[in-house]
Structure 1
Amino acid sequence: MADTIRGWLHARPLMNGLALALGCFVLVAPVTAATAYHQDASITLYLVLLAVSCVPLLVLHRWPVGVVATTVVIGVVEYAVIPVAGPPPVAVGVALYAVASRTDRRTAWRTGIWAAVALTTASVITSPGVEDLPQNLGLIAWTFLSVAIGDAVRSRRELLASVMERAERAERTREEEARRRVTEERMRIARELHDVVAHHITLVNAQAGVAHHLMRTDPEHAYQALERIRDTSRAALDELRATVGLLRYSGDQAAPREPAPGLAGLDDLLDSFRHSGLSVALERTGTPVELPQITDLTAYRIIQEALTNTHKHAGAVTAHVRLDFGTDTLRLTIEDDGRKPADGTRGRPGGPAGQGAVTGTTGTAGGAGIGTGTGTGHGMIGMHERARAVGGTLAAGHRPGGGFRVDAELPLPTDTGRKVCRP
């Protein structure tokens, strides 16, 4: 009920001012009448002066400082008309409270000091006796108390507003962070699914073509191709099951426990390409070290995607994979000797056959210089994103003499106690 009345008055400022003026008069009138009766003064005159001092409160919502000035002037006139001590000017206190609660602290205290000086001076001039000194000094306390209460209310209101604003901002930030994490996880799962599906389907397609070609002329080799199709499809299902399991399970205890692919399985990966008709050579330089799991997976997926693109778009060529373990970076180079068609393109996604050349630039180890290019294939985009995710760089493009080349640099652990792996 009280909140309803307060809201109704807040929506009607003039009615709010009228209620404030009437309330001030009704509450103070008994004290004023008792004071006049005690001092053998005119009760009517006291009440009239009180009513006049309350009238400016009608427009307090529009001109709070002006109302303070008006009520102070009326108070000074009261002291001149009634030279005896009376009740404190309540209208002045109400106006000062409104100024302090609605304006800044500096304006409030300046207004309060000015009102205290004016009222105290008028009171001292009209009642200079020592017996009136407590009454005169009480005017200072009255005005300052009104300002202090109003300032405290304003400060509390601002504090609550600040707390609410911070809480809302924290809630928005939390929601944005949650959306960002969901987006990153979705992109990671999409990259994993693309790498698994693109690689295995490409191999299955190549092996199926071989089986179809040899079915009548060389059934034995066709049977071997069908076996490889069976093995490849089984591997694809296993990897898909492990990847999709990340979406199905939320707890670590129930999550699938299959190890993520890494360079330890590189030989098996290259063998799968060799069985599908792609000649792949592997070269390792430097001293192999144990890689972080995310870097190990990234290196594996980049090699897998690059060779898948070679097999898909360049046909039966020779590919070369080189791993160079440096002091602080692992450099991956995947290139092939595919020949350019007559139009000068390679048949990569984005070009006439699906992929144009993607030229990249090598940036800092922090990943700021991730290569960019014209290729729009999901595989090429995924390789760039994977390299950037581990703080590395990737560049890809046509070789001057024909073929395609992918270069990636991935940061290695810098701690002196890293483990050395024997190839």
Structure 2
Amino acid sequence: MDTPTGAPDQDWSAGSPPLSRFIQRQAQWLRGFDLRRPWVWDVLVTLFWTAAALIDAAGGWRHNAHDLDVPVRLVVATSLALSLPLLWRRRHPMTVMAVMAAAALVGYGSGAFLQAANLQMIAVYNIALRKPLKALVWPLLLAVPPLVVGTVRFPTGSWDQLIVPAMWAYTLVALLGIAVRSRRDYTAALVERARRLEVERDQQARLAAAAERNRIARDMHDIIGHNLSVITGLADGGSYAAARNPERAAQALTAIGTTSRQALDELRRVLGVLRSAGDDATTAERAPQPNLADLDGLVERVRAAGLPVTLDAHDVPDPPRLSAGRQLTVYRVVQEALTNTLKHARGAARSAHVALLYGEDDLEVRVTDTGSTTAAAPGSGRGQGLTGMRERTALYDGTLDAGPLPGGGWQVRLTLALEDSPS
């Protein structure tokens, strides 16, 4: 057996009859054994054909011989020269063919006409299996001289009866090697394609997991950052009012509790996606994502934290001409911009203004604050705030600009197309 060294063993027997599956499994086992220990098979094949050649040299060669006076030593030496080179047929098939062709030339020229000369077909098969197609020209040419010499020296019939059948046999063996090689290459290509598809599938899974982690990180940053900023503002206002107006302090504490519960609910929803979907006991609660209708509640919470905010969204159609994903992006960008204003804007007269401006094909959102920018500017790029806003905007091929205003303050400007065509 000359096992191709291309594709690994595959189980192609699914759906086959039991006998076919048994034969295929045994063939796969033999191919696997040959791949692991090729020298064992090479030695067994060589010993088998060498024994057959020597048995023929012991006397059987006389049935086909045209000269019975050929020395037995020459017959034995020629038989060994036609069989022993098979040990190297896989590594050096061209050299093996040359040696065997020379031995066949001696056999035909002496009149022995040994049957071991047919072992040249094994060399031709290995050349067709392992070498380029153009390499087949030389073994076929090497097989012709012994036949011609035998036909010329011992003419017992027409040349076409002696040469043509042998050449047809060599040609068919070469075609068999080409067919096996084509099947091997095709199988190897299928296996390689399956391997690449598995790699691509794993890469897609990793990319999807990374994208989901980034989404969760953005949501957690927006939720925690905003709500903690609101709670901080309420706590500062409550501690200031505790000594002067206990009623206002109680209102601040109530607002802190409400904001905390809202933050916990949103965190449970976000973290629920990390739990096992098959465990009914830990399935996260379903809740709609924030949209443009929730901007009023967002503004009210920020106002309660001590930042005067105005919302200009009178020209927003009802329902909004914006997909749910784009509405969530607008909400999170406004939330992050107001959170940054709470954390970074300074001055007693600080305030913020949110404006939604609809155009024919896009929506422009402007979040402007009037606080001093001597401290760390909102969205200055430190941390995850501006990065998260840009990532959300990029999902829908939008643009986001953030920077200080000439007269003081800071502005975040978001532009999104109305059509839902995420990149």
Q: How does 1:167-246 map to 2 (within 5 A)?
A: 167-246=194-273
Match of 1:299 among 313, 316, 330: 330
CA contact (8 A) 2:404 2:411 kept: yes
Match of 2:50 among 12, 25, 37: 25
- Specify whether residues 187 and 124 from structure 1 end up closer, same or farther in structure 2 by C-alpha distance, changes over 3 A only: same
Aligned to 1:402: 408
- Specify whether residues 252 and 305 from structure 1 end up closer, same or farther in structure 2 by C-alpha distance, changes over 3 A only: farther
Please report how far the alpha carbon of residue 167 of structure 1 lies from its aligned counterpart in structure 2 after TM superposition: 2.0
- Specify whether residues 22 and 279 from structure 1 end up closer, same or farther in structure 2 by C-alpha distance, changes over 3 A only: same
Which secondary structure does the structure 1 equivalent of 2:115 belong to? coil
In 2: Cα distance, 1:9 partner to 1:222 partner = 85
Q: How does 1:22-421 map to 2 (within 5 A)?
A: 22-31=47-56, 33-37=59-63, 41=68, 44=72, 45-82=74-111, 86-87=114-115, 89-107=117-135, 109-130=136-157, 133-248=160-275, 250=277, 255-284=284-313, 288=317, 289-315=320-346, 317-341=350-374, 346-348=375-377, 357=380, 375-413=381-419
Please report how far the alpha carbon of residue 16 of structure 1 lies from its aligned counterpart in structure 2 after TM superposition: 6.7
AA paired with 1:326?
Answer: G
CA contact (8 A) 1:249 1:255 kept: no
Please report how far the alpha carbon of residue 35 of structure 1 lies from its aligned counterpart in structure 2 after TM superposition: 4.1
Please report how far the alpha carbon of residue 163 of structure 1 lies from its aligned counterpart in structure 2 after TM superposition: 2.4
Please report how far the alpha carbon of residue 326 of structure 1 lies from its aligned counterpart in structure 2 after TM superposition: 1.7
AA paired with 2:293?
Answer: A
Unaligned runs of 5+ in 1: 350-354, 358-374, 416-423
- Specify whether residues 69 and 348 from structure 1 end up closer, same or farther in structure 2 by C-alpha distance, changes over 3 A only: same
Q: Normalization by structure 2: what TM-score?
A: 0.81
Please report how far the alpha carbon of residue 30 of structure 1 lies from its aligned counterpart in structure 2 after TM superposition: 4.1
In 1: Cα distance, 2:386 partner to 2:219 partner = 13
AA paired with 1:103?
Answer: K
Which secondary structure does the structure 1 equivalent of 2:229 belong to? helix
In 1: Cα distance, 2:181 partner to 2:130 partner = 7
In 1: Cα distance, 2:316 partner to 2:33 partner = 81
Task: Show CA shifts across 1:6-40 (max 9, x none).
Answer: 46753x5xx87665443222134445643414658
CA contact (8 A) 1:287 1:326 kept: no
Which secondary structure does the structure 2 equivalent of 1:130 belong to? coil
- Specify whether residues 26 and 264 from structure 1 end up closer, same or farther in structure 2 by C-alpha distance, changes over 3 A only: same
Task: Show CA shifts across 1:323-360 (max 9, x none).
Answer: 1122222111111112232xxxx4137xxxxx7x3xxx
- Over the aligned positions, Cα root-mean-square deviation in angstroms equals 2.9
CA contact (8 A) 1:328 1:412 kept: yes
Which secondary structure does the structure 1 equivalent of 2:208 belong to? helix
Number of equivalences: 383
Which secondary structure does the structure 1 equivalent of 2:376 belong to? coil
Please report how far the alpha carbon of residue 238 of structure 1 lies from its aligned counterpart in structure 2 after TM superposition: 2.0
In 2: Cα distance, 1:189 partner to 1:256 partner = 16
Which secondary structure does the structure 2 equivalent of 1:228 belong to? helix
- Specify whether residues 6 and 42 from structure 1 end up closer, same or farther in structure 2 by C-alpha distance, changes over 3 A only: farther
Please report how far the alpha carbon of residue 152 of structure 1 lies from its aligned counterpart in structure 2 after TM superposition: 2.9
- Specify whether residues 383 and 394 from structure 1 end up closer, same or farther in structure 2 by C-alpha distance, changes over 3 A only: same
AA paired with 2:323?
Answer: P
Aligned to 2:25: none
Please report how far the alpha carbon of residue 265 of structure 1 lies from its aligned counterpart in structure 2 after TM superposition: 0.7
In 1: Cα distance, 2:32 partner to 2:255 partner = 79
Please report how far the alpha carbon of residue 155 of structure 1 lies from its aligned counterpart in structure 2 after TM superposition: 2.7
Which secondary structure does the structure 1 equivalent of 2:322 belong to? coil
CA contact (8 A) 2:397 2:416 kept: yes
- Specify whether residues 28 and 18 from structure 1 end up closer, same or farther in structure 2 by C-alpha distance, changes over 3 A only: same
